[in-house]
Structures are given as structure tokens and as C-alpha cells.
Amino acid sequence: MQTLPNPNGMPEALEGVRVLDCSQILAGPFCSMLLADMGADVIKIEKPNGGDDTRRMGPPFIDTESAAFLAMNRNKRSMVLNFKEPAGVEAMKKLVKDADIIIENYRTGVMERLGLGYEDLKAINPGIIYCSVSGFGRTGPYAKRGGYDLIAQAMSGIMSFTGVPDTPPVKAGVPIADMNAGMFSVYGILTAYINKLKTGKGQYLEVSLLEAALAYTVWESAGYFATGEVAGPLGSSHRNSAPYQGLKTSDGYVVVGAPNQPNWERLANAFGCEDLIAREEYKDNAGRLTNRAKLESELEEKTTLKTTDEWLEILEAAGVPAGPILNMEQIWADPQIQDRGMEAVLEHPTAGTTKNIGTAVKLYDTPGRITEPAPLLGQHTREVLLDAGYSEEDIAALVESGAAVTNDI
């Protein structure tokens, strides 16, 4: 089995694990990227005539490459198989024999019609772990609907309480349903893999964008279950703690966290609002929540007298958790981010030098690695097929029939 090199010479947690990723856009590719970062050999199986739709998402493009695609498909190999051709389906089945994990996000029923559903592939490899990602789940009245992040954010309730009061609905600034579905997929896959190590049995699992988004409504759902009250938008404020929000300064905002009594008292003292501590309406978190708007107004009488940087220095000295609101330029120049190795630099064959987000999980004995840029479409078709036992003549026949596409560099 060919795998990507490990330049650090350190062991990788998922070394030797092979993933066949038949997904595209974001949730599935994010899942397989996280697995690849930890050493899994991820083979990205793309459709002919353009591959993953993300390859065409832009601008921005770097040379001819979509920046979005480059961000989500590092550390992977790309091959092109045409599942509309019997030989393409047969090639997939050959690859399954030596695979550990399959990820797919076709509409409900498509993989089964192709002969590539879980039961079909389980017959070839009983230990296979098969993960399906969909908009609404593989059962239920919405099972055959297509789904996207925006729809999941809307239907999960997230858009109903994102933003500030008395404004139109707002989605989260990042594709939280897609990303969380990818993260839940990793969680499910690794849980199934641990079970396989104990029992020898693979299994089927599925994740939906709607449920992945709904799972993040922890505070809002808890409040509804307890009281029947429907949550609305609160701006930067917290649902259950106050003050825990952004406050105006003379030149912007400072965000502060005082979710418990000691932090509240330190914050009030740092702001020069000592008198608020003894006030009956602010004596505990429940009171501060009930009177949040008034509390915010009173605190901002003080916070608007100094700059954000001045308050950050004062609050740090007082031991109060606080921070600035940074944009993309500012966060990527931040010394903490630079020190933690969160900026990865890669060399792409056509895009040249590119940057990517580093690994957010730091394993000290088996660290993740980002060594390979996102692949060109079909860049590894030939080597993957050779590894699976196809001869050069066999590969030529697959290409001639349209069942596979090669792009050797």
C-alpha cells in the first residue's frame, strides 16, 4: 500500500488506514481531511468532467485552482472513476477489498442503485466502515431531499437566533452545519473503528447536516425543553451568562467573559464599577441575565472611555478573560497562532506556494501532519489502480472506455 511520506519520521495515529472518499463539497471532504491529517491514506474518488464541484467554486482562484478546494483536500490522493460505467463500479469494488473506511454523500438510494451501497460492499469486505452524509438522514419523510448548509442552518433553528434583535434572519458566518457534520462523521468513524478493533466487525453509520446543526443548539433547546420559550437573537450576548459579550470601547469592542461570580466581581472592579457588585439587581447571574440590557448600558458608560487595547491590558492584569474582535488579517498575524503552528505552507504543482490552516488537535506522540497539497484531478488514478492490481494495459482500457481518467504529472 502506497502512503504519503512522513517527513518528521514520527509515527502517525492512522498510518495504514485506507479511506475511500466518494464525497464532495464540504462535510465529507472535511471529514476525510481530518483523517488524512492524522496519517490515513485518503483516496478521493472523483467524478469525470470536472470532479468535485468545489474545484469550480470561486473566486478566489490561485492560478486555475479554487482556493476553497485547496483548503479542504490537502494530504489526499485523487483518482477519477465513472460509476456510470460498469468497469468504473468494478474498479471501486476492487479498491474496497483493501479499504477500511468509505465516505459518501450521494442522494439517498444512489449508491444502492449503482451496486455500491453498504450491503453490496460489506459482502466484499465485512470489516468495512461505511459513512453516509446527507442533508436530512437516510430515513424519515425528508430522506430523499437534497440539503445544503444554509438549509440546515435555517431548519435547525440556528438562523432564528443568530444576529441581533429586530433584524432579518442571519446564518452563522461559517458553514457550521457542514463542518459539524464532518466532525460528527469523524467521531462516528473512529468510534466504529475502535469497535472494529475489538470485535472485527465493520458497520454502517450516517450523519445528517440537519441533525449536526441541531446538535449545536444546546442552550436554546435546553431552554425550550425547560420553559417552552422560543429563543431569539442576542447579538454577542450569551444565553445563560452575563456579562459574557462584546462591549463598546472608544475605538471598537472588547469581548469579556464573566460567567461566574468571581469573574464578575473582578470585571466590575477592573472597569471601575465596584458599586454594581452590591446592587440587588446584579447580585447573581440570574439577576444579571434578567437585567442584561441595563447592565450592558451601565458597563459601556465606562468601557467607552478607553481603547480596546487599553482595556485588554487592564483586564489581563485583573485576571478577567477578554479579547479583541480580530479579522482574518489580524488573526493570521497573531503571535499565538503563529507560535502554535496553525499556518501550513505547501507547494502545489500549478498554484505554487499556498497556505492552509494547521491541525487544531495536537497529538504529542503521534502528531498530525500537513505535507501534501490538494491533488490535481485524477493525479493518482494510475498509481491507485496499479496498487490495486491493474496492469498498464488494464488501465489503458479503463481510460479508453471512459470508466477512469488519468492525469499523471
Instruction: Please list the active-site residues.
Output: 178
- CA 385, CA 42: separation in Å to the nearest integer? 14
Q: What number of other Cβ atoms are within 10 A of residue 290's Cβ?
A: 14
Greatest CA separation found in the chain?
84
> In which order are the strands placed within the sheet that holds 244-248?
244-248, 253-257, 322-324
Helix H, strand E, coil C: the string for 101-169 is: EEEECCCCCHHHHCCCCHHHHHHHCCCCEEEEEECCCCCCCCCCCCCCHHHHHHHCCHHHCCCCCCCCC
**Residue labelled with grid coordinates 430522506:** 143
Backbone φ, ψ for residue 180 (5° rounding): -70, -35
Report the residue count for the chain: 409
- CA 56, CA 292: separation in Å to the nearest integer? 46
- CA 185, CA 101: separation in Å to the nearest integer? 11
Residue 406: what residue type? T
Residue 343: what residue type? E
- Given a contact cutoff of 8 angstroms between Cβ atoms, the answer to whether 71 and 356 are in contact is yes
**Residue labelled with grid coordinates 461559517:** 174
- Given a contact cutoff of 8 angstroms between Cβ atoms, the answer to whether 157 and 217 are in contact is yes
